[in-house]
Amino acid sequence: MPDLYPLARKLLWQLPPERAHKAALRALRLRLGFLVTGPQHADSPILGQSLWGLRFSNPVGVAAGFDKDALVPNEILNCGFGAVEVGTVTPQPQRGNDPPRLFRLDQENSIINRMGFPSAGLNVVEKRLSGRRRARGIVGVNIGKNRETADAALDYAEGVRRMAPHADYLVINISSPNTPGLRDLQRREPLEALISRVMDARSDARVTPPLLVKIAPDLSTDETADIASVCLSTGIDGIIIANTTISRPSETTNALFGQAGGLSGPYLFERSTKLLSDVYVLTSGRIPLIGVGGISNAEEAYAKIRAGASLIQIYTALIFAGMSLAERIKSGLTKLLAADGFVNISDAVGVDHRRDPRTASSKPVQTRTPPRRDGPATQYASLQDGD
């Protein structure tokens, strides 16, 4: 079956962005995903790896916010993704910010959103996930706080306790720019206190999935170092880097860049990859990282992996390119890994940071064939130079 997304996109583009997204979720729920996935192939063994005792058949996941209320996790996985992260789910149902709150920047393949955690709430999501037929693939649950809750840790602890039995992994999301005060939880002391209370809550649950934290791309050098050190000292299982940015490109022609909210898509790529790279170094590669932000092709996915990501996630590019992107990225990654002589994806994680001790050269090591001159290694080096 050919990929019909270009046609579907024309129809979806007739609707306001939020309604278009709801229509796309409805189509997935009606099992129409096969119309937009294109030809599917079994995942190459080179892409498979185990992390936290979970088997990821490929590293390509759908980021949080796409399926906030866990309506279609299985249907998303059936499009070829190795994982999907549902949520952000808040304890109580809430409507989020007033519309309009989602803006599509067509020329720039970008999105600005200030959704503010609209959520069906834990009861609904718990019911959906507990009644779900377990399919292949990994389902993570991303947890947030209600806007009005003063003691944030109470909400996160509640989310972790309730979702632990239904999630392959849990994420505490402290990085959305659209809930007032949320990003302050990323500072050293509040973060330490939050993680310790959430870990206590997790140990009360009868199953204890890995616990990850999702951070913002707009952190100073000191803030980044603090987060890395807290993650190491608390024993957090993983870090997702990054959420949307509140920054804007310096030169823009599109007036929509003036909308308040978090920007996602290509502009986020460099910033989020630099942060990923920094955190990988600061944590000495000891904590698995998930790279997200501006990925729209296999080369960008590979650059994140080389910078330190064990897994990657996508959101915005799916809106513009459709679900068949999973297959395209997997097939491109398979070729890129093989061309660089890797036997398994896990060998490529963070390879841009490894130097050959014998030659002390600045070239990335262990590739059996030299990285292509115009390939991701070169591209990544230029990103490092730029910052």
Ligand X SMILES: Cc1cc2nc3c(=O)[nH]c(=O)nc-3n(C[C@H](O)[C@H](O)[C@H](O)COP(=O)(O)O)c2cc1C
**Residues tagged active-site:** 176
User: Shortest distance, CB of residue 337 to ligand X, whole angstroms?
Assistant: 21
Q: Which one of residues 60, 102, 198, 325 is an interface residue with ligand X (CB under 6 A)?
A: 102
Closer to ligand X by CB, 38 or 293: give it: 293
User: Shortest distance, CB of residue 31 to ligand X, whole angstroms?
Assistant: 24
Write the burial class of residue 286 (CB in 10 Å: 0-12 exposed, 13-18 middle, 19+ buried).
Answer: exposed
Query: What's the number of CA atoms in the CB half-sphere (13 Å) around residue 271?
Result: 22
Stretch that binds ligand X, among 29-37, 162-170, 289-297, 338-346 (CB under 6 A): 289-297
Q: Name the nearest CA neighbour of 37 among 95, 85, 79.
A: 79
Query: How many Å from the N-terminal Cα to the C-terminal Cα in the chain?
Result: 44
Q: Is 152 in the site for ligand X (CB under 6 A)?
A: no
User: Shortest distance, CB of residue 265 to ligand X, whole angstroms?
Assistant: 5
User: Shortest distance, CB of residue 95 to ligand X, whole angstroms?
Assistant: 14
Q: Is 294 in the site for ligand X (CB under 6 A)?
A: yes
Q: In whole angstroms, give the CA distance from residue 307 to residue 319.
A: 25
User: Shortest distance, CB of residue 312 to ligand X, whole angstroms?
Assistant: 9
Closer to ligand X by CB, 137 or 217: give it: 217
Work out the angle between the directed axes of helices 267-282 and 376-386 (0-180°, nearest 10). 80
248: helix, strand or coil: coil
Site residues for ligand X, 123-142, by CB under 6 A, read: 142
Q: Which one of residues 315, 320, 342, 380 is an interface residue with ligand X (CB under 6 A)?
A: 315
Q: In whole angstroms, give the CA distance from residue 31 to residue 33.
A: 5
Q: Which one of residues 94, 146, 186, 243 is an interface residue with ligand X (CB under 6 A)?
A: 243
Q: In whole angstroms, give the CA distance from residue 201 to residue 65.
A: 24
Q: Which one of residues 140, 209, 265, 371 is an interface residue with ligand X (CB under 6 A)?
A: 265
Q: Which one of residues 68, 166, 304, 328 is an interface residue with ligand X (CB under 6 A)?
A: 68
* Nearby residues of 81 by Cβ (< 8 Å), 6 or more positions away: 58, 60, 61, 62, 137, 326
Give me Rg for the CA atoms of the chain.
20
DSSP letters of 14-27?
A: TS-HHHHHHHHHHH
Stretch that binds ligand X, among 4-12, 202-210, 260-268, 351-359 (CB under 6 A): 260-268
Task: Give CA 292 to chain center in angstroms.
Answer: 4
Dihedral of CA 26/119/211/300: which sign?
Answer: positive
Give me the residue whose beta carbon is nearest to ligand X. 65
Q: Which one of residues 88, 94, 273, 277 is an interface residue with ligand X (CB under 6 A)?
A: 88
Closer to ligand X by CB, 280 or 342: give it: 280
Q: Which one of residues 77, 115, 201, 289 is an interface residue with ligand X (CB under 6 A)?
A: 115
Q: Is 94 in the site for ligand X (CB under 6 A)?
A: no
The CA-based diameter of the chain, rounded to the nearest angstrom, is: 59
Q: Residue 340: what are its φ and ψ, rounded to 5°?
A: -90, 5
Q: Which one of residues 90, 264, 283, 310 is an interface residue with ligand X (CB under 6 A)?
A: 264
Task: List beta partners, residue 364.
Answer: 355
Tokens of 105: 């920047």
Closer to ligand X by CB, 219 or 295: give it: 295
Closer to ligand X by CB, 244 or 334: give it: 244
Q: Which one of residues 57, 78, 109, 173 is an interface residue with ligand X (CB under 6 A)?
A: 173
Whether 323 and 33 have beta carbons less than 8 Å apart is answered as yes
List contacts with ligand X (CB under 6 A): 63-65, 68, 88, 102, 111, 113, 115, 142, 173, 176, 214, 243-244, 264-265, 268, 292-295, 314-317
